[in-house]
Amino acid sequence: MPRYTVHVRGEWLSVPCKDPSKTIRCLGKEALRRYIKNKPDNGGFETLENVKFYLRRCKGLGLLDLDDKLIDALEDNEFVEVVVEGDVMSPDFIPSQPEACPSVQYIEIDGECLTTKDLLNLGKGLYKIKLTPEAEQRVKQSRLLIESIVNEKKVVYGITTGFGKFARTVIPVSQLNDLQVNLVRSHSAGVGKPLSPDRTRMLLALRINVLAKGYSGISLETLQQVIEAFNACCLPYIPEKGTVGASGDLAPLSHLALGLIGEGKMWSPKSGWADAKYVLEAHGLKPVSLKPKEGLALINGTQMITSLGCEAVERANAIAKQADIIASLTLEVLKGTTRAFDSDIHRLRPHPGQVEVAFRFRSLLDSDHHPSEIAESHRFCDRVQDAYTLRCCPQVHGVVNDTIDFVTNIISTEINSATDNPMVFAERGETISGGNFHGEYPAKALDYLAIGVHELASISERRIERLCNPSLSELPAFLVTEGGLNSGFMIAHCTAAALVSENKALCHPSSVDSLSTSAATEDHVSMGGWAARKALRVIENVEHVLAIELLAACQGIEFLRPLRTTTPLEKVYDLVRSVVRPWMKDRFMAPDIEAVHRLLVWLVAVPYIEKYRREHIPESRPVSPTAFSVDSMSLSSNSMHDRHGNQN
């Protein structure tokens, strides 16, 4: 017999249907009848016959024709909403997001080898998860120790006692399961908008990875249930705010666990947002039944900070590479010199990031390797050096790259670390309380990341100013003809300035703060959750500022035509022009910014950079996007012509 899950004014109702040939209208009336039946005031309705309503799918919000037959319009176990005429959308109804989990590929999880890139791919739904045999064995051994503790009625924190201030309160064996459920419910106290499905998948995958290490005491049966929920894309509702980042990310991880035990809300591609028990049931899954220690095993750790941190370092790495390409294009438009990128200069201050950024500029701007008509047009001008925003890119962009490298190392270590308390050491036959749940490492690192990456926007905004200011650029004011009638990039530059100013406030480190919690038991905390969230906000702002610079630089090229820049930079220009046409007169600019924000111009430039590396560095090999080659400083400066004056 088909059954449908129907949302009516904030409540979810399971409505069976004996006759699938009935209409959508009949389903709506039956759902309203059940809703009214449970209300002492009939839900405010005088009679059901007078109620006007319509139905829509929870996924995608598509309207349903009331006269269509159920068998023709809906699948079994589909999720729909009844909207009563005159009602506003229920405040707790959250539309599903138009995405799915088509993945059939698996990634093996063992708690030891996960990378930031792996986690991002898991977040995107590109892989499902399975445990390695070694991980399964470790989990089994860890659980045996927990069971022996329970059977022997030993007093062990979090297993047979309360939590935090209640650590000295011993709990009877008959109530140990209730203890774990109560823990999850009481700690699910987060607020704010929910994490996106991508970020929830990352958080869930990372918690699975930590549990797979075998130091948490969770049973293999429960862990497999968690993995099944991940593989089915059943994702709990997790508010983004509420963690202080010590004793783990307790609030968000508790919301994660709450959905897994069939309480709270969940999202799946099939259902959209609905009550967790219905979402699990729709996918043929049963709620997790928590055994001793298992609630604590699910919620103790830094996985909220770390999963968001993974996204932050991956996006930061991408935008740092973009910044080098965009700044190179701006230098061309402003007819800058390449003398500042001479390898001998950077040999004398060989920070890896600085050396690599200077190399990237050379690989894109070397006139001998990539002839540039723009460069030739000012080869013998009287300028000898450029403003710092052009000349000092290797130093400013370089330290950002080194910062990202440093933070990536910390986050990569944190991904594969056991962060529970107490830790379950099966080989020693004991549990030990410690502080691995403290988020200070990723919190400090992500504060540092925000400060570092912000500088890419800070220097970019000054380059945008130079492009827009005719006294600095020798180009039309605000990069538009008929100035006055047209404003061109005037307010786009203001947007960049606003984002840079916002970042200055966001870069204040959250990890310098600490507030005592849990009746002074947890008397020093990391505030890492906010460090991670604001790092992502800073990075997003940087992405938009650089998108504006890229638009402005490409617009500047229009005023230098028919002269052409180097081959790789022409490829960048062509990519931008494939989504945004030149700015001939004023038009709606926000869509252009957003379109360029999504472009990965690095991808069209990197083949030229790596070809240049192979040709100019003996026995060099292509580097990964995150790697820096100190050997690149060995490139002879004699292979380059200066953009001003004579050969170097």
* Positions marked catalytic: 157
Question: Virtual CA dihedral for 100, 102, 105, 109, nearest 10 degrees?
Answer: 20
What's the number of CA atoms in the CB half-sphere (13 Å) around residue 572? 34
Q: CA 189 from chain center: how many Å?
A: 22
Q: State the burial class of residue 540 (Cβ atoms within 10 Å of its Cβ: 0-12, 13-18, 19+).
A: middle
Per-residue burial over 582-605, b = 16 or more CB atoms within 10 Å of its CB, e = otherwise: ebeeeeebeebbeebbebebbbbb
Distance CA 192, CA 565 (A): 48
Q: State the burial class of residue 562 (Cβ atoms within 10 Å of its Cβ: 0-12, 13-18, 19+).
A: exposed
Distance CA 66, CA 82 (A): 11
How big is the CA angle at 568 (ends 474 and 340), to the nearest 5 degrees? 55
Written in H, E and C, the secondary structure of 428-455 is CCEEECCCCCCCHHHHHHHHHHHHHHHH
Would strands 128-131 and 106-109 be described as parallel, antiparallel, or unpaired?
Answer: parallel
| Residue recorded with tokens 């699990």 | 280
CA-CA distances (angstroms) from residue 561 to 78, 112, 557?
58, 54, 6
Tokens at 482, concatenated: 């008929």
Instruction: Tell me the DSSP string of 181-239.
Output: HHHHHHH---EEEEPPHHHHHHHHHHHHHHHTTS-S---HHHHHHHHHHHHTT-EE--E
Distance CA 114, CA 123 (A): 13
